[in-house]
Amino acid sequence: MLKTGAEILVDALQREGVDVLFGYPGGCVLDIFDQLNKAKGLRLILVRHEQGAGHMADGYARSSGKPGVVLVTSGPGATNLVTALATAYADSVPMVVFTGQVPTFAIGSDAFQEADITGITRPCTKHNFLVKSVAELPRIIKEAFYIATTGRPGPVLVDLPKDVQKAALPDYVYPEKVEIRSYHPPLDGDEAQIRRAAAAIAQAKRPLLYCGGGAVATMCQAELIELSERCDIPATTTLLGLGAFPETHPNAVHMLGMHGTQYANWAMHHADVIIAVGARFDDRVTGKLDDFAPRREHVIHIDVDPASISKVIPVNIPIVGDCRRVLRRLLGVVEAKRHPEWLAQIRQWKEKHPLQYPQDDKLRPQYVIEQLYALTGGDAIVATDVGQHQMFAAQYWQYTKPRTFISSGGMGTMGYGFPAALGAQIANPDRLVVDIAGDGSIQMNIQELATAVIEKLPVKVVILNNRNLGLVRQWQELFYKKNYSGVMLGRRNPQPGEAEYTPDFVKLCEAYGAAGVRITRKADVRAAFEEALANGRPTFLDFWIEAEENVWPMIPSGAGVDQMMSGL
């Protein structure tokens, strides 16, 4: 069958089950866009900035489990994606990104809008390709989707020179399978190591499940619950692991780490057997390495990526494989065990050190999130930007299902939440999608309001507006003697006629054709949410919260659990 490179790409996307892609046109991808306009069943989401496209594809992937697909042009179009690629790479999110490139004969000549995007993105992609001939294009596309979605997922970039898009392949056949000699991700885990893990769990007195993003990616919640209940094992999650284990379960100790619950951190501190499932012992979890889990006797680490095991914390029972498949095999050999004293200790810590904040008439971020949770019953997909609001969203919303919390963990990318929420809404058109944002983060990709309005995406954006960069301000308050440098987003001493703070999010929403409302009183919170949830439109709710509210508890960077600050 005779097809051009552009036609091959569109056909391949359809064969891979892609129904939506996020993109922005330019000279080096015009042949592909020409074909997209003729294709059936492929929805193009025209973004307003390429970084927005990357984050939308990311949110689409995290919430659906399917790879997010991006198409942009060469040069600045491609380089604008780097932050989104780094974000997806850090959090193991499957994406396939297609970038236009100058013709092969012009590569290296500093041609207009030429950038060495494969060289630039090599450190922040799982793999990337520069297509040199149309004959290799079908194989490369097939491999790109396979690599992105198997093993430890991640973004894969395919750079498409313009002449390759125009060239014709007379005998085009799309491959049915992939054969990569050097890439064979292990899935089932080693039988001997699984039996060693079962023996360690049988001997444990204070076991703890430690669930990370890999547990969400492999959808192993049922297996985690069964293991927890069979062996009386409490479960904690990382930020990206929220939803892997239901937080309403009596064995849940919720999120651990720098801003995790005190009882989760104490549970890790006293555990003798740690069962890490798809977690990577991030520095925000471990704190001071010499003080991390000092009573541990065994560390069981289940992860599909062998490079993650013993990378930070020494592991004596490594199991390389898919988390869900390994847990199923572990459940086949592990014996039931009861730990009444350990669970009683966990309950005591929960009762003594709950999450709490002042109960007064001030408009506080914790209250805002609690009210939305109560109104929705937690039935929503929650995306966040990065900062204090991200931590409040992690603390004061109870996540019971995987793929319902979407946030930038490893990279901590401000500007991520809003476009990611739009991607999640596209993947889940019948679900409520909420973006909990800060007034700093939301402005970094606010231009995607146009995308939300044009595509009729009714995402609700909860802006916890403290008129400053809250988390940085908190650090400056606690560790820099309140020397607030570069964090105040409003005017310190506004002159007559000058606004204290800009922008006015309500007017901004009106300019884009979205809905916007400002809330300054605690008494108006619930009514504002009720109206927003009923309007069927993209909506910004601008909550003017207490400017100097802090996130508690907090373990200072590089400190141990014994230096945890409660803020009370």
Which of 81, 154, 150 is CA-nearest to residue 121? 81
Provide the pLDDT for residue 567.
Answer: 84
Residues 17-56: b if buried by 16+ CB within 10 A, e if exposed = ebebbbbbbbebbebbbebbeeeeebebbebbbbbbbbbb
Per-residue model confidence (pLDDT) at position 492: 78
Domains of the chain (ranges; CATH) run 3-169 (3.40.50.970), 191-352 (3.40.50.1220), 365-544 (3.40.50.970)
- Residue 57 has a pLDDT of 98
Give the pLDDT of residue 499.
86
pLDDT confidence of residue 183: 94
Cα–Cα distance measured from residue 133 to residue 235, given in angstroms and rounded to the nearest whole number: 51
- Please name which of 402, 424, 342 lies closest in space to residue 212, comparing C-alpha atoms: 402
What distance in Å separates the CA atoms of residue 248 and residue 220, rounded to the nearest whole number?
17
Classify burial at 75, counting beta carbons within 10 Å of its beta carbon; exposed 0-12, middle 13-18, buried 19 or more: buried
pLDDT for 493 equals 82
- Read off the pTM: 0.97
Instruction: HSE, CB side, 13 Å, CA atoms: give it for residue 486.
Output: 3
Nearest to 198 by CA among 331, 306, 319: 331
Classify residue 200 as exposed, middle or buried by CB count within 10 Å of its CB (0-12, 13-18, 19+): buried
- The pLDDT of residue 419: 98
Q: Are 535 and 516 in contact (CB under 8 A)?
A: no
Residue 241 has what pLDDT? 98
- Alpha carbons 433 and 456: distance in angstroms, whole number: 13
What's the pLDDT score for residue 496?
A: 87
**293 exposure class (CB count in 10 Å sphere: 0-12, 13-18, 19+):** buried
As a whole number of angstroms, the distance between CA 568 and CA 564 comes to 12
Sign of the torsion angle spanned by Cα atoms 33, 34, 37, 41: negative
The reported pLDDT for the residue numbered 157 is 98
Dmax over CA atoms of the chain, in Å, equals: 75
- Which segments of the chain have a pLDDT < 50? none
